[in-house]
Every structure is written in C-alpha cells, then in structure tokens.
Amino acid sequence: MLDADFFRRWMTAAAASVDREAERLTALDSPIGDADHGSNMQRGFRAVTAVLEREAPDTPGAVLQLAGRQLISTVGGASGPLYGTLLRRAGKALGDAAEVTEEQLADALRAGVDAVMALGGATPGDKTMVDALVPAVDALGTSFEAASAAAEKGAVATTPLQARKGRASYLGERSIGHQDPGATSSALLIAALVEAAGE
Ligand code: ADP
Ligand code: MG
Ligand code: MG
C-alpha cells in the first residue's frame, strides 16, 4: 500500500531530478521552444516541495492535489497548468483514503492524463508530454520500473515527430528531429516513482 509519505517522496524525488536535469530540459526547449522548460519545472517543483513541508497534507490525494495547485500557481508556461491538472485530477481520483494500492494509483494517473489531453487537446503522436505519459500509465499495471522505461521510450520516440500542439507546433516541419522537452520531463516524473518506492 502507498501512503502519504510515499507520495511526498515521489514529489521530492521528482524535484531533485528536475534540479539535476534542468539545464538539459531548457536545452531541449531551445530549438523548438523558448528555452524555459527547465526553469519552469524547477520553479514549480521547488515550490511543491516547500508547500508540502509547510502544510504536511496527510493523505495521498491531498498531497497530489496540493502539488498540482502549486504547479498551476507558480509555473507560467504551458507545462504548469498541464502538470498541475495531471496531479490535481489524479489526487481527486484518490479521494481521502489514507493508503492506496498501486492499481488505484494507475487508475488515478490515467484519469489525470485524460484530463491533460482534454485541457491541451493533444493526443499521442502530437509530440508532447502525452507521448510519455500515455505509455507510462499503460505500463503502470506491471511495475513502476516498466512505467518508467515506457515513459523514457515514449520521450525518445518524439524526436522524429512533427509537433502538432504547443509552441513547437509553430515551427511546422522544423520541429522534426528534436526530442520534446515536456515528454522528457514526464519521463523524469515517472522515473521518480521508482525512487519513491525504493525499487
Ligand atoms: P511553454 O511552451 O509555455 O514555454 P514549457 O516550455 O514549460 O511551456 O513546456 C513545454 C512543453 O509543454 C512541451 O514540450 C510539451 O510537451 C508540453 N505541451 C505544450 N502544449 C501542450 C498541449 N497542448 N498538450 C500537452 N502538452 C503540451
Ligand atoms: Mg518553453
Ligand atoms: Mg515559456
């Protein structure tokens, strides 16, 4: 069973990973965006760890909803509302249970990814974070490690795609040949689940 501490560890591990990879995320956002994805994510996840320490939410659902709200209010870019929606919607789906199963987490993240697609209008193949998140939730039923590998594979597979959503889509065919920054940060977020579980 996964308790509030597990979800706090997840968010803390994600924040640490974003800190380590911020320069790379910004470098990926430079040829097909506005070179701010690393700093956007860093600002957002630093605020998430701070608010989780300050308010100490005590259920999995409350941790994710608070984290999501914080991302929405601190990240100006497209990724803030999208990641915020992912976590808020997943948190809502977990309700107020003190502990949840891995299956419930998988279902909740599925609901979160559906909400991201509804908000941003992207579907798999549009060269966005959705390309990492959808395969990740598909593999979550197997293990966190399988989900992490699927997310990483999905992120790498965005390279030959032409962007159809977000800033990169303004470039048309010139967006081809670059890995999507948001799909890359999504892979970091899912990899942090493995760390939180101590797998
Ligand atoms: P901005 O583009 O506003 O500067 P970021 O650089 O922080 O925001 O985030 C860019 C990432 O957000 C993209 O790489 C892409 O993965 C994701 N993204 C942008 N628009 C959408 C959308 N409509 N649906 C899903 N993901 C999107
Ligand atoms: Mg950007
Ligand atoms: Mg921006």
What's the confidence (pLDDT) of residue 76? 87
- Is the whole-model pTM more than 0.90? yes
Whether ipTM > 0.90 holds is yes
What's the confidence (pLDDT) of residue 57? 98
φ, ψ of residue 3 to 5 degrees: the values are -105, -175
What's the confidence (pLDDT) of residue 199? 59
Mean pLDDT by 10 residues, the chain (199 residues): 98 98 98 98 98 97 98 96 98 98 98 98 98 98 97 98 98 98 98 92
Q: How far from the centroid of its chain's Cα atoms is residue 181's Cα?
A: 11
- Which tokens in the block code for residue 199? 């797998």
Which residue has the least CA distance to atom 5 on ligand 1?
37
- Answer whether 83's CB lies under 8 Å from 71's CB: yes
- Answer whether 28's CB lies under 8 Å from 181's CB: yes
Where do runs of H (alpha helix) occur along 56-163? 60-74, 79-94, 102-120, 130-139, 144-156
Is any ligand 1 atom within 6 A of the Cβ of residue 130? Answer: yes
Domain residue spans of the chain: 2-197
HSE (side-chain half, CA atoms, 13 Å) at 36 = 11
43's CB contacts (< 8 A; 6+ apart) are: 74, 75
Task: Give the 3-state secondary structure of residue 130.
Answer: helix
What's the confidence (pLDDT) of residue 163? 98
Is any ligand 1 atom within 6 A of the Cβ of residue 82? Answer: yes
Indicate the helix (H) or strand (E) that contains 99.
strand 99-100
Q: Which fold has domain 2-197?
A: 1.25.40
Surrounding residues of ion ligand 2, Cβ less than 5 A: 29, 33-34, 36-37
Is any ligand 1 atom within 6 A of the Cβ of residue 44? Answer: no
* CA dist 47 → 125, 162, 180 (Å): 31, 33, 24
